[in-house]
């Protein structure tokens, strides 16, 4: 028997409607083979610089979350100056993480951040992916065995 999202057990009423049910069943994000990008809805998003130390990364992620909360608060209070400052703080944290600004890799390859994967050098690899399982399809050049 197939169960629709609105027929899930009663604990569903504890979650905001727009977050049901995917927050209970998180999927591992698909990452390009070189680890430079996450793929979300067919678009490439630059990953955090793997060269950051764990304390640096944790500090920057904390700053990013604080800045995002400040954006939400400024919007709720309709405070344009606070909103601009909070957005600058978000940008600063994302640059520190390597998700914006100069690329963190050193091989000279261009940045494909925010491009559709189908319009990037990753298009062929992505076509051969089974995105439901985030594993290469059988018979593709990236499949094992």
- Is the model's pLDDT at 42 over the cut of 70? yes
User: Whole-number mean pLDDT of the chain?
Assistant: 82
Question: Which of 108, 144, 132 shows the shortest CA–CA distance to 33?
Answer: 144
Residue-level pLDDT at 28? 77
Please state which of the ranges 2-6, 52-56, 116-120, 123-127 shows the lowest mean pLDDT. Answer: 2-6
In the predicted model, is pLDDT for residue 143 greater than 90? Answer: no
What pLDDT is attached to residue 129? 80
Which domain covers residue 139, as residue numbers? 111-145
Calpha distance 47→119 (Å, rounded): 19
Looking at the 3D structure of the chain, how many domains does it have?
A: 2
pLDDT tens track for 64-84: 999 999 999 999 999 999 999
138 & 115 share domain = yes
Res. 31 pLDDT band, cuts 50 70 90: very high
Q: Has this prediction a pTM greater than 0.75?
A: no
Neighbours of 75 (CB within 10 A): 13
Note whether residue 57 is domain-resident. Answer: yes
| Claim to verify: residue 70 and residue 95 sit in the same structural domain | yes
65 is a domain residue = yes
Residue 139 lies in a domain: yes
Question: Is the residue at 11 inside a domain?
Answer: no
């Amino acid at each position: 028997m197939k169960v629709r999202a609105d027929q899930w057990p009663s604990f569903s009423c504890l979650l905001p409607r727009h977050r049901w049910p995917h927050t209970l069943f998180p999927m591992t994000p698909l990452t390009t083979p070189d680890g430079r990008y996450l793929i979300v809805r067919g678009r490439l998003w630059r990953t955090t610089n793997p060269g950051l130390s764990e304390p640096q990364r944790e500090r920057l992620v904390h700053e990013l979350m604080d800045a995002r909360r400040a954006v939400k608060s400024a919007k709720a209070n309709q405070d344009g100056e606070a909103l601009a400052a909070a957005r600058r703080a978000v940008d600063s944290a994302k640059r520190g993480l390597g998700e914006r600004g100069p690329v963190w890799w050193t091989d000279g390859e261009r940045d494909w951040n925010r491009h559709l994967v189908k319009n990037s050098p990753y298009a062929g690899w992505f076509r051969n992916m089974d995105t439901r399982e985030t594993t290469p399809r059988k018979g593709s050049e990236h499949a094992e065995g």
